[in-house]
Structure 1
Amino acid sequence: MGKSQKKKQMRRHNPMRVPDSHLPKGLAGASASSSKSEAILPIIQKMESVDSAERKWACVAVSNLIQNDPATRRLLQGKNVVGALITRLSDSEEEVVVEAAGALRNLCIDGGYDICGEMYNKNILSPLKSFVPKISTTLSQFLENPQDAPENAQKLVYEFAENVITIFWCLSETSNKALTTINEIGLVPFLVSFLAARDKLPLTTVTSAAQCLYVLSDDNFAAVGEIRANAAYTACLLSIGKPDDAPTVTNGKGKEVSNERQTALRVLCCGILKNVSPIPPPSIAATIDLDKDVILPTLQPVLASAYLHETSNNVQHLIAQEDTIPALDKLSIKNTPKSDHKSPIELQLELIEVKLRTVQLSLEILTSICATLPDPEPVQENASADDGAEDDGMDDEEDEDMMEEELQPEGSGSTSTFLPTLVAPLLPLIHPTTLSFPPLTGGPSPHPPTTSVLSAIHICAMECLNNIFFSLATPKKGQSSNVSLKSDVDELQHPGQERRREMWQLAVGVLWGIGIVWKGVLVPTDAQVQLLIQFCETSDDQAVKVKCIGTLECLAQHPQSVDTNRVISTYLLTHLPSPTRSTPLLVEPCLQALSALIDIYSDESLPYDINFRQSGKRERELRRRGEEVRDNLVAFVEYRRALKL
């Protein structure tokens, strides 16, 4: 089991803000689940109206109707709302263009992969590309002569810029084809210019630029190279991300903004710096241990202040006060709604989501840091000087390890001292709240955005713990883990439970890491063992089965737990070849089970070895065969190395 790395093919960690997997497939199922189906046709019709007020109304109505409503979003998508809105990006009226971009932005954020893919296929990048120089020119004029630009005009441009940038961000995050095209546009200077002028622009617009830059710099050589090559870019990022130097950000009018939004910007800049590390001279960032002096001091307070259960209760209290379904009379043309109009409760929920997304982002960055830390080196036993003299070159593993070490950012090795201190604040983040997943009984969450981000936090925390435990060097005698997970495994197969299932799969990996670190110290319980066995049996993924078997192997090695050892070893035998076996043998679980049995009974002095001595000839034969395979493998490796081909 290795460390969790960033996903490259499925770039976005949280692909859908408002998931719809709980809905029946097809438009008929979506129509039956939506309370606003009658409003769909008028909206689509007015999108093509000769009256610009009606066209604007239709764009705004889309944003209002899809809010936390995946069924209505799916219905609109079935009526080609994406194509209609892309057409409106070329509208003759500026306000229609702005509202169309806002509706597309909201569709991107809520809908994820499918909608972003549809937008790319319908050539949304063509009009978006043309907007970039226009926005740059207009913003430069505003910044040079702010007194010449009316406040309403500035607000319109800032809102439009935020919408366009957010669409770029979502497309980059969900489509590798779109990312390739966006690379050709060359957005990096455009985005950095917003960060450089952050004291004169609305923070939401600046944060959108930082978010887009963070996504573009994630495993994307084109953007990474461009940022690294410009010392002014990295200096700007450092000035925002460094705790001591981070200025107070205003909303563009001289007023201070919320701590949540300022913190989100700082964390994003830390993420960008991590993505582009190591940073070469002459940038000032090249002289600093970014992990130790900038990134970790910024992330740790964010994680320490994340009280998920209190947040979940607060969200439930807020949504209980407000009717989340907008009345249709609010969508009348006479009382044209604004797509950015939010009630006080909606604003509170938005700030809560901003804070939770910042926690999620912090965990993603921390996972990346822990993934780059060196793994503990195994103790070399019975090594002699003669062994090294026989081979005057490095073997493949040594060569690979050295290459990885050379690529580490300066000072990253010192980060390993932080690992034990990170476990305590991470453990509360893996415990689900009442809003963490959709109800097991079916249907959507009471507040899908909160559920989406909470489940993402749990999964990110699991990945981070996975990396930490696999980076810790030696068992800490006398310590124990307080990780507990309870659920009905069978319920994980229900529609809409994908995130819950993903968390379980990651949790087993974390438990395996804990078991390795504290092998022989953890005291297993019958409930833990049976839960792992049940999860192993119900999973169709061989990798998950391997994690379960590895965790059971560690639990079986508690010296005094003789009965538990017998239960585990008996179960492990079911994964091995047998004349009575009715199902095909799974190779990876079989190998892991064989390796586990050999490791468990490799010391005959332990109390639980009595289970091996009393188990009969089959286990003795198993051990003989396993040792024979091991000896053959060692001899084969030595033979191939001696050839030096």
Structure 2
Amino acid sequence: MQHPSADVREFACASLSKLLQQKLAIPAFLQRDVVRCLGPMLLDQSLAVRETAAGALRNLSACGGFEVCDDMVTKDIMTPLVALLKECGAGLVASEDSPMKCKDTKKNCVEDIANEAVHVLWNVCECNGTAVSVFNKEGCLDVLLQYLKKFSTNVDLAISVAHCLQAVTEDNPELLSSFNASAHQMLESILLSQDNTMEHILLRTLLAGSVWNIKDTIPSSSQASTINVILKIFSESLVVDAGETVIQLKEAETQRLKLPVETETEENVGDVLDSAVLNEDEEMEEPPEGKVKRENDISDLLPSDKWELKQVTALLMAQQTALEIIVNMCCSEDPSDDEWEELSSSDESDLFMENSYDEGNGQLMSPLCLSAEVHAALMNNLIPKKILEKTTFPNSVAVDICMHSPSWKPLIKKMNTVQCRALMCLHSILLVSDVDCLGGASTLQSLAQHLSQLVFSQSEFPKHTEFLEAITSAMRALLQTMASKNISQSMSPEQLMTLCEAGIHSSNISVRVNVVSILGIAGSVLAKVEDTAETLKIIGKFLLEVAMKDSSLVVAGEALDALFDVFADGKEAEKAALQIKLLPALKEFQPVFKMRMRKEGKGQYSTDQLCVLDNVKMNLRRFIVYQETLGGRKT
């Protein structure tokens, strides 16, 4: 890298870039101060060296995760990176009449360097607050908007910029003042553009997300129309059938290349997809609290002869992005890592003593809001219907095609991700929408059957954590909505227990919280039905065991909450409670729960979680008193 020959320096950076795709190799390079070695190369006299150095840093930041991005910022990668971005911006202006071409290619070298540099900026800003502060201070927004002007001739660069903008505009009030009328006009011109390639759909979707992030800078008189434009763009991306698109474009690729489906070349391309930036088969590291890291888009790394594959990859990324932003539009607050911000059902616990507890209002969900403008735009663009369509399993023919083509195989995971995002989106829509707006009782009953079929139609019970979290979240919200409106649901007690017994063994806390909550909602409904004592006994025993044995206090607290719901009222509940000896079991468990809270609480759980757990502890005491009152009344 220090060699006087530019070709040798370029080769060294390119070799390093390849090695940094391997996550296990990264620590050794960090020990050798790879960031400070590569940083100066961003400003090398050779444009080819600049591009390969930026590519190496892109791979390092994408494959290394949060800690590596923090280290890059600590090692001051932002100084040469910002300088490079500004030089590229000046270079684009200077080369508009005579573009600077890379050697042996017809590509614009400055744009290629800018694309790699923007990816590095995106990665570090998504992971590190200091990087975002530097972005704001150094006026990087103006540079990115300058790059964005190239959207009609270089969509890859524009998409990279759009990804970066979506990251830096999220929860960044300091940046809002930088969005002047000219910036708004440029974003609007792209949002209203009519190019319907999948890549341009992705570009518009990403920019729509950025516009949502900066909605406070939009005049109030224009907000309704802007929100409608945003959701119209999401509708355009969601309406496309990804499965059919895979089938059609794979056939088109085969016809174009006139090659068998599987070739050695495709295997090599598969390597590019699998390892260029992120290994699709590896789990992403858990983000630090309060941070969310999206998967980095690598569609621009595909060889130019993979046009069809790039289009499908862009479509799936657009659909995933649209669904994620709709969730944000429905929520006034970002969900915590374990999504347990609900207020305890026991806030209503004073009513225990009056024996008139309303289980329908028992599960108060986290604060959500849906403005009239957002609600109208969701309905006008048929967003709930399109979300529901995306919750189905990926087209089996498309999956089979991808399975038999190494370069297309990673699309299977992307299709599954879209399904999971749609289920989470359905969860949010259910929490904020009126039953009538969703289509009434019959629609919700059909939806309950659909969700049950997703879980129980497979030959094996689903084990994929992301899917289980998404499906149980949607079921939880749906059952809560139906219970609050006294709408009957079709899941049998046997199916309910199968779901809960499978879910409670998940390593994911959200899945376990969801299944005990589902059991609490269903049990509270059954408690008002005659001859259900036997089923209530099974539910009660299950929830007691979870409360006493689960390793997470959050799950134990939710199980207690569910018990309060199930056994709050009704003759069948009273009968079942006596038979499973609920009162003595809870009295024996009460000091154990208090002790666990003292020992584990402060070290492992957030302030909000501890507040909820304190509430559960208080209501455990009240519920015990309530149960004792029932016993005394009978004697």
Q: What residue identity is the alignment partner of 2:212?
A: K
Deviations 1:211-262 (A, max 9, x none): 21121101111223322xx1221222122214xxx254xxxxxxxxx71121
Shift of 1:294: 0.3
Moved more, 101-110 or 418-427: 418-427
User: Could you tell me which residue of structure 1 aligns to residue 174 of structure 2?
Assistant: 222
Name the structure 1 match of 2:324.
364
**Paired AA for residue 516 in structure 1:** Q
Instruction: Describe the SS at the equivalent of 2:488.
Output: coil
**Cα distance in 1 for residues equivalent to 2:5 and 2:558:** 68
For 2:398 and 2:553, the matched residues in 1 are separated by 35
- CA gap 1:340/1:279 in 2 versus in 1, 3 angstroms: closer
Q: 2:74 is aligned with what amino acid?
A: N
1:93-104 alignment, distance < 5 Å: 93-104=46-57
Q: Return the letter of the residue paired with 2:323.
A: L
Question: SS of 2:217's equivalent?
Answer: coil
2:520 pairs with 553, 577, 584, which one? Answer: 553
The answer for the alignment partner of 1:265 in structure 2 is 203
1:572 to 534, 537, 540: 540
Alignment of 1:516 onto 2:466:
no
Instruction: Tell me: CA distance 1:417–1:611, structure 2 relative to 1, closer, same or farther (3 Å).
Output: same
Distance 1:624-1:65 versus aligned 2 partners, 3 A rule: closer
Of 192, 206, 217, which residue of structure 1 is paired with 2:145?
A: 192
For 1:155 and 1:502, the matched residues in 2 are separated by 41
Match of 2:363 in 1: none
Whichever residue aligns with residue 131 of structure 2, its letter is A
* Range with bigger deviation, 465-474 or 537-546: 537-546
Do 1:278 and 1:410's aligned partners in 2 also have CA atoms closer than 8 Å?
A: no
Aligned in 2, Cα 1:480/1:342: closer, same or farther, shift over 3 Å?
Answer: closer
Q: TM-score, normalised by structure 2?
A: 0.66
Tell me, in whole angstroms, the C-alpha distance in 1 between the residues paired with 2:519 and 2:2. 62
Which string of whole-angstrom CA distances, capped at 9 and with x for unpartnered residues, describes residues 456-483 of structure 1?
A: 4234223211111111334832332201
The answer on whether the counterparts of 1:469 and 1:514 sit within 8 Å (CA) in structure 2 is yes
Structure 2 matches for 1:30-49, cutoff 5 A?
A: 47-49=1-3
Residues in 2 aligned to 1:436 and 1:59: alpha-carbon distance in whole angstroms? 38
* TM-score between the two structures when normalised by the length of structure 1: 0.66
Q: Does 1:52 align with 2:22?
A: no
What are the equivalent positions in structure 2 for 1:201-216 lying under 5 Å apart? 201-216=153-168
8 A contact 2:455–2:461 mirrored in 1: no
TM-aligned CA distance change 1:564 to 1:545, over 3 Å: farther
Q: Compare 104-113 and 210-219 and name the one that shifted more.
A: 104-113
Question: Structure 2: how far apart are the matches of 1:341 and 1:542?
Answer: 36
Secondary structure of 1:89's aligned partner: helix
The question of whether the paired residues in 1 share the 8 Å contact of 2:387 and 2:426 is answered with: no
Structure 1 565/421 Cα, relative in aligned 2: closer, same or farther at 3 Å? farther
Of 434, 439, 458 in structure 2, the residue corresponding to residue 473 of structure 1 is: 434
| Partner of residue 237, structure 2 | 302
Q: Distance in 1 between the 2:218 and 2:270 partners? A: 56
Q: SS at the partner of 1:218? A: coil
Does 1:140 pair with 2:93?
yes
8 Å CA contact 1:435–1:451 kept in 2: the answer is no
| Counterpart Cα distance in 2 of 1:85 and 1:289 | 47
Equivalent runs, 1:337-486 vs 2, <5 Å:
343=303, 346-372=306-332, 411-415=373-377, 417=379, 421-429=383-391, 431=393, 450=411, 453-474=414-435, 476-478=440-442, 479-481=445-447, 482-483=450-451, 484-485=454-455
Aligned pair count?
A: 507
In 2, distance between residues paired with 1:208 and 1:627? 52
* Structure with the higher helix share, 1 or 2: 2
**Structure 2 gaps, min length 5:** 255-260, 272-298, 334-344, 349-365, 400-405, 588-618, 627-635
- Give the deviation of 1:268 after TM superposition: 1.8
Question: Which has the higher mean CA deviation after the structures are superposed, 127-136 or 414-423?
Answer: 414-423
The one of 215, 232, 238 aligned to 1:277 = 215
Given the alignment of the two structures, is residue 158 of structure 1 paired with residue 105 of structure 2, yes or no? Answer: no
Residue 562 to residue 72, structure 1, CA distance change in 2 (3 Å) = farther
- Supply the AA of the counterpart residue of 2:311: L
State the distance in 2 between where 1:340 and 1:459 align.
24
Contact 2:527 2:567 in 1 (8 A): no
The equivalences for 1:171-186 within 5 A come to 171-186=124-139
2:76 alignment partner, SS class: coil
Q: Which amino acid in structure 2 is aligned with residue 237 of structure 1?
A: L
Moved more, 622-631 or 126-135: 622-631
Displacement, 1:421? 4.9
With 100-109 and 270-279 compared, the bigger mean Cα shift is at 100-109
Aligned-residue CA RMSD (Å):
4.6
For 1:137 and 1:569, locate their aligned partners in 2 and report how far apart those are by CA, in whole Å: 73
Seen in structure 2, the aligned counterparts of structure 1 residues 504 and 589 have a Cα distance that, compared at 3 Å, is same
Q: Where does the alignment leave 5 or more consecutive residues of structure 1 unmatched?
A: 1-46, 249-257, 329-338, 382-399, 438-444, 493-499, 634-645
CA distance 1:512–1:358, shift in 2 (3 Å): same
> In percent, how many aligned pairs have the same letter?
19
Match of 1:629 in 2: 622
Instruction: Say if 1:549 and 1:593, in contact at 8 Å, map to a contact too.
Output: yes
Matched, 1:236 2:186: yes
CA deviation profile, 1:85-128 (whole Å, cap 9, x unmatched): 33422433222112221332244345543543343233221211
- In 1: Cα distance, 2:389 partner to 2:100 partner: 50
Q: What is the DSSP-based 3-state SS (H/G/I as helix, E as strand, rest coil) of the residue aligned with 2:311?
A: helix
Whole-angstrom CA distance in 1 between matches of 2:415 and 2:32? 32
1:503 partner letter: F
Match for residue 7 of structure 1? none
Question: How far apart are 1:427 and its partner, in Å?
Answer: 4.4
